[in-house]
A and B are shown apart, each in its own frame.
Chain A
Amino acid sequence: MSEIMREPTSPGGDLPESLLSALLDGELTAPEAAAVRARLEVSPEWREILEEVRVARDLVRDLPPREPPTANVLDLDAARRRRRGRWVAAAGAVAAMVAVGAVAFVPGPDRVRPPVATFTDAHAARSSMGNDAISTLAGAAVPEGQGR
């Protein structure tokens, strides 16, 4: 359903209420304006709404022009610098996020380095017991009934 179909209509239900704003703005055709005026004649509710939108419209139209706070606002070079500054800031933020992500999620060197010293010590201990570790493993792997 379109936006126009959903909007409130006049008490008779045949004219959209937004025609009241259009009447104030001079945006109606002569027949439309005549229809709205005829409705206003008989509808106190529509007259009240018309007054409401007239007040709101006048309040906004009476707002004073706004002066730029600095002449810099209208300076093209300043605009370019400002835009460049924003890109640099955004790029810096992305770089910082990537760096934080790298530190948080990439495993550090200690986590992937094999404990070589521990392996060496264990191997040396087993070897010094008379049978080196490899021979021990080989003995355990001899099929049943074929061993010593």
Chain B
Amino acid sequence: MADGVPTWEEVARDYGRFLYTVAYRLAGNDDEAQDLVQEALLRVRRGLERYEPGSLEGWLARIVTNVFLDEVRRRKRRPVHAFPDDDPDRVVPPAPAADEAGRDLSDEVQAALAELPEEFRVPVVLCDVADQSYEQIADALNVPVGTVRSRLHRGRRLLRASLSEYAR
């Protein structure tokens, strides 16, 4: 890492799991998370020249969030048609119903997270998964800090309502 600016290889090696975790919590499944991470890494590659040393995780979380929101907007513009994927290394997760009996608390929380509308899910993931401050989230989403606080709170209340059996 020269002058605090990492190489692309260092980002992929040291922050790959962080990127993937954020992508997975946003997307809700491995297949889409892989797409998000790969697109995010391509943007990281292009953006590293302009990266100013600071919170690398914040920068990466912002990129993967933008990729996710671009994808959400793209899907709203036109419905997605599935094409067969010929990538032999691609791992397709089992359908959620297939192992319903084996679901643990993490699966339940993830399912509840995936049910949240994107406007609430994104601040929850950025705050509670990517550990970003309200100000960083506001910058990433281009909204006021008060809006972040409000959406985050509503997202948490919705989550709590759908996970009512896990009171503690």
A-side residues, CB < 8 A to B, are 2-4, 7, 16-22, 25, 27, 49, 52-53, 55-57, 59-61, 63-70, 72-76, 78-83, 85-86, 89, 93
List residues 103-150 of chain B with CB under 8 A from any CB of chain A: 105-106, 109-110, 113, 124-125, 127-129, 133-134, 144, 146-147, 149-150
Q: Contact at B106–A63, with CB atoms within 8 Å? A: yes
Establish whether residues B17 and A55, one from each chain, have CB atoms under 8 Å apart when the complex forms. no
A76-B42 contact given A49-B157, A60-B124, A89-B83, CB 8 Å threshold: yes
A53→B37 contact, CB < 8 A: no
Measured CA separation A63–B20 after assembly (Å)? 13
B5 within 8 A of A: no
Chain B residues closer than 8 Å to A61, beta-carbon distance: 128-129
For B38, give its contact among A60, A69, A83 (CB under 8 Å): A83
* Cβ–Cβ < 8 Å partners of B113 in chain A: 60
- Indicate the member of B86, B127, B128 with the most A CB atoms within 10 Å: B128
Closest to B16 in A: A74
Asked whether A3 lies within 8 Å of B168 as measured between CB atoms, the reply is: no
Dominant secondary structure of chain A at its interface with chain B? helix
Which of A18, A21, A55, A57 has most chain B Cβ within 10 Å?
A: A21
Q: How far is the CA of A12 from the CA of B72 in the complex (A)?
A: 39
CB distance from B44 to the nearest CB of A (A): 9
With contacts A22-B149, A55-B168 known, is A66 near B21, CB below 8 A? yes
Residues of B within 8 A of A57 (CB): 128, 156
B157 adjacent to A52 (CB under 8 Å): yes
By a CB distance below 8 angstroms, the chain B residues around A73 are 16, 20, 34, 37-38
Where chain B touches its partner, the secondary structure class is: helix
User: Can you list 6 pairs linking A and B with CB atoms under 8 Å apart?
Assistant: A2-B147, A21-B156, A25-B127, A25-B134, A61-B128, A81-B87
- Checking B87, B89, B106, B133 against A27 with a beta-carbon cut-off of 8 angstroms, the contacting residue is B133
Q: Counting CB contacts under 8 A, is B97 at the interface?
A: no
A93 touches B153 (CB 8 A): no
Chain B contact-residue range equals: 35 or more
**Nearest residue in B to A78 (C-beta to C-beta)?**
B38
Establish whether residues A70 and B89, one from each chain, have CB atoms under 8 Å apart when the complex forms: yes
Q: Knowing that A66-B33, A68-B17, A85-B86 are A-B contacts, what are 7 other residue pairs whose CB atoms are under 8 Å apart, sorted by A's residue number?
A: A3-B150, A25-B152, A52-B160, A60-B109, A65-B17, A67-B20, A75-B12
- When the two chains form their complex, are residues A83 and B42 in contact, meaning their CB atoms are under 8 A apart? yes
A79 and B106 in contact, given A57-B128, A59-B166, A74-B12 (Cβ under 8 angstroms) = no
> At the interface, yes or no: B77 with Cβ under 8 Å from chain A?
no
Q: Kindly list chain A residues whose C-beta atoms are within 8 Å of the C-beta of B144.
A: 4
Shortest CB-to-CB span from B36 to chain A, Å, is: 10
B163 touches A56 (CB 8 A): yes
Q: State how many angstroms separate the Cβ of B56 from the closest Cβ of chain A.
A: 16
Q: Are A7 and B153 in contact (CB under 8 A)?
A: yes
Asked whether A63 and B163 contact (CB < 8 A) given A17-B153, A69-B30, the answer is no
